[in-house]
Amino acid sequence: MRLRTPLAVLGCIASLAVAVQAQDPTPYRGPPVLPPHAGPPAPPPAPLPEGQSPAPPPPLPEGQAPPPPPPLDQNVPMEAMTISRATAMTVGGLESLVILGAAWLAFFGAPRRRDDQR
Amino acid sequence: MSADRPEDADALAPSPDRAGLRTDAIYLVVVALVAFRQLCNSMGTSPTIWEDTLIENLYVRDCLVDNHCTAVGAGATVGIFHSAGYLHWRSLLHAVGLHANGTFLTFHVLNALGVGLVAVAARRIAGPVAAALAVLIMVAGNGVPTQLNVISDVAPVPFLGAVFLLLAQTATARPTRATTVALGLLCGVMLNFYATGLLCGVSAVIVTLRFPKDRWKHTALVMAAFVVSTFVLSPLTWLVDLRIVLTRHIGHSPGMMNRLPLLEIPLAALSALALLLWGVSALWPPLRRRLDVVAAVILPLFVPVLAGYLRGSLDVQDKYFAHVVAAIAVGVGAGAMLPLNAAARWALGRLETRFPSRKAGIDRFSAMVRRSQALALPLAALLVFAGFNEPADTIEHLSYSYADVLSTARYLARARGWTSGQAQLGLLTPDELARRAAIRWATGWRASGTTSGLEHAYMLKMPVSDVLMQLPTGAEVVRRAADGRTVVVSTCSWIDWTAFRACTRRGDAPETCMDTALPIRNDGHQDYSEGIPGMPNPDGRDLSRQTLTLHFPLHPRPECPVTRVVMPRLPLLCPGVIASVDGVPATIEDSGRRVLLRYDTRPGAPQPRELAISWELGVPACWNQFRGHPPFFIEGDPDAVPFIERMIDPGPGAAEGPP
């Protein structure tokens, strides 16, 4: 019982937030407010090696570039694989609920049922 | 001893009762508070500028502004896609008003709670001294190595790992369907935050297989919850990754390896220590079982990391241990205290048997020891509060934060009417990422205004040791913080970034040149995809060895009669040389690193016409450091230039640098 009540409250809040997000036509108010893309964006490169001090590259012959990486998928570019903002917000909300619920259970344990008391 | 008996379940990890929960709550609150203060002190209250954050920002912007949220996530260095769930979660934080600093402080709050959960987990296994040790280890292990100084997909992982560890303990102590399902769901979320979450799924299976009863039922349940939640949260990520895994090699390429010895990586060494303590405790099975959950969390990571390291296909880094740092802390803390506690109990029992007449005294001594253990956590909290592990004044302290670029943007907008477009033309700083962050991330630029290629400002960090230094004309401190000052230096210039010529030469091939300009763009994606016309590719992946020479037409004028050019030498900066000056004879000094040019006021006198600067690209000193933008150099008023040089290169030896 003690678990069900807070989870229900959290669920209601999350549903409300998702519903508001889905209905709200106002564009996002944070920085930076930029005009829409002129065309489909290219995917950003993979992050550099971590640690602020990248390893030196293997020596290349003058004027010769290393072979480019093979294309991932000729038919379905990554940037075309998108979902809507409402769906993303719903996923983010669900993740928050799972984390909160797991933390609650971790700390308090699952509620004891009558058959646990025997 | 059979593990099916109820008392064995308690031996694995005690279940919290009402009194225990009260103590746990005190531990959680006290430790979280001091850990939060420690994180704010050591990591700051504003995120350090970081490449991955800027890439994430593009995804968040696409999601919130354009309604195009990535369904596959960001690329990882090992060649797969991940973090889509994390990006959705970050977008949600942004949408509810937690922007850069808000998101960063949210991570601090969560990770501080994570330290509190570690204290609870260790106390439940081995008492208050183990809790204190675990807190100290968790605090020492967390930080820059687990990217708590930046906004990244790794940053929330230590907290998630702490939740997972405590949940696994709780589930082991008293298995229920709710805790088992929660374990699986949490692992699904962790996997969609960061790819190492996959190993959490393996840990969850091992944990349920150690349940005292109904182990197969719980194992099936946790696997189902894990698989379903992983897939449901971001199906396309896993379909794409499955295709990648089946069709190409996964791992780091040899060129990306730093190859430190494994045990020189702090969290790898601590993992090995925790596993060693678990192994040692195996000599006494009841103790080993108490550490089984900890081992179940660490082993699924440590084994593949070790294998990847030995095969040479994995560049092992501390961040890969982010989800096990809680288990490491508890493993070392509890692993050290469990044998000690057991040995002390054994010794006291022997004493009581041998000297029955002194039983009362022995009992008093034993009680006193137990009471004194309660002091362990306050002592640990005091050490954390005092900042026992805060870093010395290193280069990390002088890196740019979001607050720095925000202060710079607000100052230049207010004092000089700068727009984001003007910043793209005239904002100069030795840290290319900070320049991009100021343009793309900082708010506060004017919405409209004029632009000029001749109007320049340098954004610099002044170390604490230099705060008493006199500022030259045109310099302004725009932010004061404990780690230093952020200074903006406005200076007149002869270089117009809206018109210059870029020439490249590869080997013996003829030089190719193109008239070009710094572009003004509203779309941050183009920083990565398009670069600057005539300049080599911005992402460096096809950066072959070549000479880049930029020819700048000079604009000497009476109001700006002298200009000085200096080519600095810094570790992460491509070293350039002044190749030539056209129009007048000029003395280029210091092996091409310095030149002083003057406007001749005599009517019809020849004037400096063009300055050429060259860089060798594709060599070890200029490879990843080159980001498609003209590498940084200093040019401007003779009073301002030495000040700028001193700010960016305060070390006496560093000024010499490599030739």
Report the alpha-carbon distance of residue B288 to residue B295 in Å, rounded: 9
Of B167, B188, B620, the CB nearest to A105: B167
The 3-state secondary structure of B55-96, one letter per residue:
HHHHHHHHHHHHCCEECCCEECCCCCEECHHHHHHHHHHHHC
Of B68, B87, B186, the CB nearest to A99: B186
Choose among B207, B145, B212, B221: nearest CA to B178.
B221
Pairwise CB contact (< 8 Å): B243 & A73:
yes
pLDDT tier for residue B648 given thresholds of 50, 70 and 90: confident
Is 90 exceeded by the pLDDT of residue B491? yes
Classify the phi-psi angles of B605: left when phi > 0, otherwise alpha if psi is within -120 to 50, otherwise beta.
Answer: beta
Q: pLDDT of B322-358, one tens digit each? A: 999 999 999 999 999 998 888 888 888 898 889 888 8
ipTM of the complex: 0.88
Of A35, A50, A54, the CB nearest to B317: A50
- DSSP 8-class letter at B535: S
pLDDT tier for residue B8 given thresholds of 50, 70 and 90: very low
Choose among B230, B104, B91, B192: nearest CA to A90.
B91
pLDDT at B518: 94
Q: Which of A56-70, B17-31, B209-223 has the highest mean pLDDT?
A: B209-223
A25 lies within 8 A of chain B by CB: no
Report the alpha-carbon distance of residue A113 to residue B117 in Å, rounded: 25
How big, in percent rounded to 5, are the helix, strand and coil portions of chain A? 40, 5, 55
User: H or E segment at B170?
Assistant: helix B157-173
Give the mean model confidence (pLDDT) for residues B492-509: 93
Pairwise CB contact (< 8 Å): B229 & A98:
yes
- Give how far A113 is from chain B: nearest CA, Å: 10
Is 90 exceeded by the pLDDT of residue B182? yes
Whether B28 and B119 have beta carbons less than 8 Å apart is answered as yes
A69 lies within 8 A of chain B by CB: yes
B616 lies within 8 A of chain A by CB: no
pLDDT at A49: 44
Interface test with A, best of B88, B177, B183 (most A CBs within 10 A): B88
Amino acid occupying residue B403 = A
A87 lies within 8 A of chain B by CB: yes
Is 80 exceeded by the pLDDT of residue B135? yes
Higher pLDDT, B467 or B228: B228
User: H or E segment at B41?
Assistant: helix B18-43
pLDDT at B256: 55
Of B51, B183, B528, the CB nearest to A42: B528
Helix (H, G, I), strand (E, B) or coil at B50: coil
Is 60 exceeded by the pLDDT of residue B139? yes
**Distance from the Cα of residue B355 to its chain's centroid:** 58
Nearest CA in chain B to A65: B544
Of A33, A47, A60, the CB nearest to B77: A47
**What is the spatial order of strands in the sheet that B562-566 belongs to?**
B594-598, B562-566, B634-636
Pairwise CB contact (< 8 Å): A32 & B620:
no
Pairwise CB contact (< 8 Å): B182 & A58:
no
Interface test with B, best of A81, A96, A113, A117 (most B CBs within 10 A): A81
Higher pLDDT, B538 or B287: B287
Structure tokens at B17: 């009762």
Structure tokens at B444: 């506060």
Mean pLDDT score of chain B? 88
Is 70 exceeded by the pLDDT of residue B503? yes
Helix (H, G, I), strand (E, B) or coil at B175: coil
Pairwise CB contact (< 8 Å): B442 & A92:
no
Residue B153 Cα distances to A88, A103, B158, B192, B534, angstroms: 16, 19, 11, 10, 35
Q: pLDDT of B224-278, one tens digit each? A: 999 999 999 999 999 988 988 888 777 666 555 556 788 889 999 999 999 999 9
Report the alpha-carbon distance of residue B106 to residue B109 in Å, rounded: 5
Amino acid occupying residue B91 = S
Pairwise CB contact (< 8 Å): A34 & B61:
yes
- The sign of the dihedral angle between the CA atoms of B131, A96, B186, B150 is negative
- The sign of the dihedral angle between the CA atoms of B163, B166, B172, B174 is negative
A80 lies within 8 A of chain B by CB: no
Pairwise CB contact (< 8 Å): A53 & B572:
yes
pLDDT at A62: 45
**What is the spatial order of strands in the sheet that B500-505 belongs to?**
B512-516, B500-505, B546-553, B610-617, B576-582
Pairwise CB contact (< 8 Å): B88 & A78:
no
Give the mean model confidence (pLDDT) for residues B512-531: 88
Which residues contact residue B575 at a Cβ distance below 8 angstroms, ignoring those fewer than 6 apart? B567, B569, B615, B621, B622, B657, B658, B659
Nearest CA in chain B to A101: B182
Pairwise CB contact (< 8 Å): B523 & A41:
yes
Is 50 exceeded by the pLDDT of residue B307? yes
List the beta bridge partners of residue B69: A83
List the beta bridge partners of residue B622: B619
Give the mean model confidence (pLDDT) for residues B281-285: 78
Task: DSSP for B371-393, please give it.
Answer: HHHTTHHHHHHHHHHTTTT---S
- Cα-Cα-Cα-Cα torsion B636, B637, B642, B645, nearest 10 degrees, comes to -20
A19 lies within 8 A of chain B by CB: no
Query: Is A113 exposed, middle or buried (CB count within 10 Å of its CB: 0-12, 13-18, 19+)?
Result: exposed
Report the alpha-carbon distance of residue B293 to residue B335 in Å, rounded: 12
pLDDT tier for residue B657 given thresholds of 50, 70 and 90: very low
- Give how far B608 is from chain A: nearest CA, Å: 33
Pairwise CB contact (< 8 Å): B544 & A65:
yes
Nearest CA in chain B to A14: B92
Q: pLDDT of B119-129, one tens digit each? A: 999 999 999 99
10-residue mean pLDDT series, chain A (118 residues):
56 55 37 29 38 41 42 50 92 96 91 50
B52 lies within 8 A of chain A by CB: yes
Report phi then psi at B494, rounded to 5.
-100, -5
Report the alpha-carbon distance of residue B565 to residue B300 in Å, rounded: 55
- Give how far B586 is from chain A: nearest CA, Å: 31
A40 lies within 8 A of chain B by CB: no
Query: Is B601 exposed, middle or buried (CB count within 10 Å of its CB: 0-12, 13-18, 19+)?
Result: exposed
Pairwise CB contact (< 8 Å): B64 & A31:
no
Is 70 exceeded by the pLDDT of residue B610? yes
- DSSP 8-class letter at B189: H
Pairwise CB contact (< 8 Å): A82 & B188:
no
Interface test with A, best of B15, B23, B65, B508 (most A CBs within 10 A): B65
Is 90 exceeded by the pLDDT of residue B601? no
- Cα-Cα-Cα-Cα torsion A13, A19, A20, A25, nearest 10 degrees, comes to 160
B15 contact residues in A (CB cutoff 8 A): 109
Structure tokens at B50: 């970081």
Q: pLDDT of B626-641, one tens digit each? A: 888 999 999 999 999 9
Is 70 exceeded by the pLDDT of residue B161? yes
Report the alpha-carbon distance of residue B209 to residue B215 in Å, rounded: 5
B74 lies within 8 A of chain A by CB: yes
- Give how far A114 is from chain B: nearest CA, Å: 13
pLDDT at A56: 43
B529 lies within 8 A of chain A by CB: yes
- DSSP 8-class letter at A76: S
B572 lies within 8 A of chain A by CB: yes
Nearest CA in chain A to B93: A92
Interface test with B, best of A23, A37, A85 (most B CBs within 10 A): A85
Task: Output b/e per residue, B359-390; b: 16+ Cβ within 10 A.
Answer: eeeeeeeeeeeeeebeebbeebbebbeeeeee
Whether B516 and B49 have beta carbons less than 8 Å apart is answered as no
Report the alpha-carbon distance of residue B141 to residue B501 in Å, rounded: 49
Residue B314 Cα distances to A46, B4, B92, B303, angstroms: 16, 41, 33, 12
* Tokens 């000079």 -> residue: B554
B164 lies within 8 A of chain A by CB: yes
Q: pLDDT of B81-125, one tens digit each? A: 899 999 999 999 999 999 999 999 999 999 999 999 999 999 999
- Give how far B653 is from chain A: nearest CA, Å: 19
Higher pLDDT, B633 or B74: B633
* Tokens 């705060």 -> residue: B467
Report the alpha-carbon distance of residue B442 to residue B243 in Å, rounded: 38
List the beta bridge partners of residue B577: B614
A15 lies within 8 A of chain B by CB: no
